[in-house]
Chain A
Amino acid sequence: MELSICQLLFYILAALAILCAFAVVSFRNPVSSAMGMALCFALTAAILFGMGAQFLGIVQLIVYAGAILVLFLFVVMMLDIKDEERKTNGRCNAIAGAIVAGMLAGIIASIAIGLPGATDNPCPAKALCNSFGDLAIGQPATPATDSATPASTCSTCPAAVTPGAPLPGPETYGGPLPKIDPVASDNDTKLIGATLFSQYNIQFVILAFALLSGTVGAVALARKIRKD
């Protein structure tokens, strides 16, 4: 299986991002950790670009690598924190963390590899619907006539036929992602905005209120309390 430049970039970026995430955990100086976090977020944004989610990639760069990082650095500078000194039980703690994280990563990887339709279907939910066709996932009980054609009862992905998608080889797991439509990719921001301001308008307003109350709460928490 030959690697295209796109795939090669994904694997390189993913490896670098994981390396930076590891640096965040292992550096003892909080400023170094913050820099590692910035790199990790920038690489994650690059991976989002590669997935065709340009708007989310830009948001990731601006909000995470920009605003949140500056906030962290500001607080680190303000509090004048020294490096963590090593304690006697540090090694034991690190081993416990490594074991828990390794188990979690192993569970997630095994679930991802064992996705239904791993070898023959680009859409996992479609395969689920096929294997439980008579249950009609996500829909009220339908007459028995529908169960004869289980593929049509799937509401999650009604038309799973993706013309541009190449056939997955036997060594690929979970099915390759379908090729993105260039028109949809160009209008990514437009389509997200259309969805956000029509279907999710109320949730967006609630999010705005959450941000406002968060800001007010942060100011109220961080202000100096006068003792008089």
Chain B
Amino acid sequence: MRTIWITVRTSLVLMLLCTLLYHLTVTGIAQAVLPYEADGSILYNEDNEPIGSALVGQTFTEPQYFHSRVSSIEYDAAGSGSPNYAPSNEELITRTKEAAEAWKQANPGSPLNQLPIDLVTNSGSGLDPHISPEGALVQIPRISERTGIAAAELEKLVAEHTAGRELGIFGEPRVNVLMLNLELQQLLNK
């Protein structure tokens, strides 16, 4: 009985210390020092309207944009998730075949054997903001044809938006699709 009483009292104390005090201190410091990161790296346009998060992917279906990876939740960041297909699941094979087929239709200028696997697979989160640099380069013929922007200029754009490994070691080179398309949009507006 005494143990229960001690547990309840200690729990209340620890709840104050480890949860409220801890969270509020971290939140206070984060909001004061790094408000942009602390709020989720939200991007705004010239009219100060939020247009996305620099860290969260978006769906791109229009052919003049660079496309993101497959997402079963269509980049709905209210949640997150993937279909969790096992390697042996028929539906995974069917979906990938269809994606490859659709790719051939939409990108006659880029052969299938140049299509990197990240573009036809579902990311873990369904919100992956990145594609591989190869995945961006291989889309250039389509975009160039659509927009009339020279392929060389698009390649330069992709190169500018290719982030290297962290500290030169960790992770993989990648291209943030939203940032790339925002820049592309500026070119189109000109």
| B is bound to A | no
Interface residues of A (CB under 8 A from B): none
Interface residues of B (CB under 8 A from A): none
